[in-house]
Structure 1
Amino acid sequence: MGDLNSPAVRRRDLLGLSTAAMAGGAALAACGAPARTAAAGATSPAPSSPGKESEVPVTPPEDLMREHGVLKRILLIYRDGIRRIDGGEQVPAQPLNAGARIIRDFIEEYHEHLEEQYVFPRLRKAGKLTDTVSVLQLQHRRGRVLTSRILDATAPSKVPDARGRRALVTDMAAFIRMYEPHEAREDTVVFPAFRDVVPPKEFLELGEVFEDEEHRRFGANGFTGVVDHVADIEKTLGIYDLAQFTPRV
């Protein structure tokens, strides 16, 4: 997944920058001389150059929606696997297994954990989208079953026969069919409702909770490291170049 332990600047570190306390004589300030600190007599830091601004923190829905981008890219990997198998090619077991592993580690055990711990309970407590939340949680459970099958079918020790190839295609197709509407409903309905029911202060605090959990699980690079790993799989399959998806008109 790349070097997940390399140094990285945290968003809240950027937001936590403070200016040095200034102590200078009124006469010096009036004549334009640089003010100095009382303790060390050092000149004050130069003002930030134009365009340099503190990074805006990522809100919980934005965090969850960009993680859906990772999910979408794995669905493309599954689609390419289906295309190859249906075309009589060898099962691309290693790339498919790597993609399913990201689904297991990043989507199911991290992303869905955040939804189930922080998003769904608040909607239920507010009496909003309770039926939708129940369906989404059931789909999480069914998705984990499908992921387990895909991981097993693409394990290094497996050489799937014709029946195994058909079963793998069926499971990947079922996963795609379920998660496309699943993530679309969350992005357009569930996450906006979540924002409405959470007080602003708690909403910002949850952003920090999500950030901390991301780096605890995936190291300093967090989300960026996962995206890099997805890109590596895409390159292996020859589907990384975005231009190839542009239709001729």
Structure 2
Amino acid sequence: MKLAFSTLGVPALPIDQVVRLATDHGFHGVELRASDEEPVHPGLSAAERADVAERFGKAGVEILTVAAYAKVAAPGDDQPVLDEIGAAMTLAADLGASYVRVFPGGGELPTPEADVIAARRLAAVAPVAADLGVRVLLETHDSHRGGADVARVLGLVGHVGVGTIWDLMHTWLAGEQPSTTYPALAPYLGYVQVKDIASAADTTPLPLGSGVLPLAETVEVLSREDWDGWLCWEYEKRWYPQAAELPGLLGPGREHLSRLLADSA
């Protein structure tokens, strides 16, 4: 398995510093948060996009994902959501990224209605994503935090242009164990987001291995099933100012994941 980290843990760092953090600490890729306050966002010009892709490419670091914030199950008109996803897909294609992250965002809608809305929008973007050479991934999150919830939506879509990100924290909070989540998501799985927290009541990010999330069990399940994708460390420093800074944790975090992979081999 290959290892990546998310720029959520290093808010608004210049691209060169993000690249350096990846290379210095042995990460193969980076999940880029794509919002207006970040160095990478859909408003970049063609020349700026080419420059970003070149910097990562020269360093041998893969841009794994453009992490967008479109909510595919949210109430309202489809077009603004489709436009937001479309802009993120084009950015991902220009950067050479494999994936675009989206959220469910169904809120208080009845589950069947939220499922239908999400499936309709994902079905609309799926062929475009495939043509661009990217894949739109619905993260296990908020209204659809369980693997079974996301699998239900993706089963309605049935197109290779869409898939899922397995966010370990959210499936655990939904009451699923890795041995249950993996079979549900396996047909659609793009990659796995790992993290650690103190408890269900305190989701402040912790160094990998120092919290309660079933990291070892997850890696064991993936290894047993011969899954050979990406593990991406999402350390949500941006929303937890009291959390330790990520750069100092990257080396030990990579070492912890490497040990888990070696133990499960």
Relative to the length of structure 1, the TM-score reads 0.29
Which structure dedicates a bigger proportion of its chain to strand?
A: 2
Relative to the length of structure 2, the TM-score reads 0.27
Which structure dedicates a bigger proportion of its chain to helix?
A: 1
